[in-house]
Structure 1
Amino acid sequence: MELVCHDSTELRVIEVAESRIDAAVAIQFKDRMRTLSDDGPMRVILDLSRVTFLDSSGLGAVVAAMKQMGSGRRLELAGLTPTVAKVFRLTRMDTVFTIHPDLAPFEAGLGHAR
């Protein structure tokens, strides 16, 4: 599961560089998210703009990533493709997460990838 991390002083963007988050990669996704979100800014945005398929295991992995962030830290989502957005709407998870249409408002301050 390839995730790419971009930092600014107040924000970390984690880009999912895969087209699917499903049962085959859900555990890898959770482990990699834990590694990338353990330290750093209080606010993390998960860029899902390349993800075209998300099943229930993938949704569970995204929710688990939010829970493992701990109190006071926030996981927000950006760039949901229509299919992925529909999954969040149908499960009402769109009321749990802050969802941004894209990363445009955040791109100016982002620095290096890790």
Structure 2
Amino acid sequence: MQLSVERSGGRCVVGLPGPRLDAAVAAEFKRGIVELIDTGADAIVLDFGAVGFIDSSGLGAVVGAYKHLGPRGKLEIACLSPAVRKVFALTRMDRVFTIHDAVPAP
């Protein structure tokens, strides 16, 4: 999985290539985010604009990255499709993460 990373205003906007964040790519996704965190990124926005499907493995990878970041930083979500937003709502992850309709300005 090739993540696009744009550093702007002290944060990283990470674009997921889509169209799925599932068991086939979840571990690779998490490794990429953990690598960003380990190299000093402490404000991350995940741009889900290209993602139309997420399963429990994908959601687990997002939560794992969030836990790795810990209290020293923040991980926000942007551009969820209706299907992905529904998964976040059903699992109550919409109460854990700040979710934006669009990538917020820096």
Q: Normalising to structure 2: TM-score of the pair?
A: 0.92
Instruction: Specify the alignment match of 1:75 in structure 2.
Output: 75
Give structure 2 stretches of 5+ with no counterpart. Answer: none
1:12-91 matches, within 5 Å, as 12-91=12-91
Shift of 1:40: 3.7
- Rounded to whole Å, the distance in 2 between the matches of 1:81 and 1:48 is 8
- Rounded to whole Å, the distance in 1 between the matches of 2:90 and 2:22 is 17
Shift of 1:6: 0.3
Q: Which amino acid aligns with 2:22?
A: D
Q: Normalising to structure 1: TM-score of the pair?
A: 0.86
Give the alignment's Cα RMSD to 1 decimal.
Answer: 1.3
- Rounded to whole Å, the distance in 2 between the matches of 1:41 and 1:21 is 22
Q: Which amino acid aligns with 1:29?
A: F
Give structure 1 stretches of 5+ with no counterpart. Answer: 110-114
Deviating beyond 6 angstroms after TM superposition, the runs of 4 or more aligned structure 1 residues are none
- Rounded to whole Å, the distance in 1 between the matches of 2:9 and 2:90 is 35
Instruction: Specify the alignment match of 1:112 in structure 2.
Output: none
> How many residues are paired up?
106
- Rounded to whole Å, the distance in 2 between the matches of 1:3 and 1:95 is 25
- Give the conservation status (yes or no) of the 8 Å contact 1:5–1:13: yes
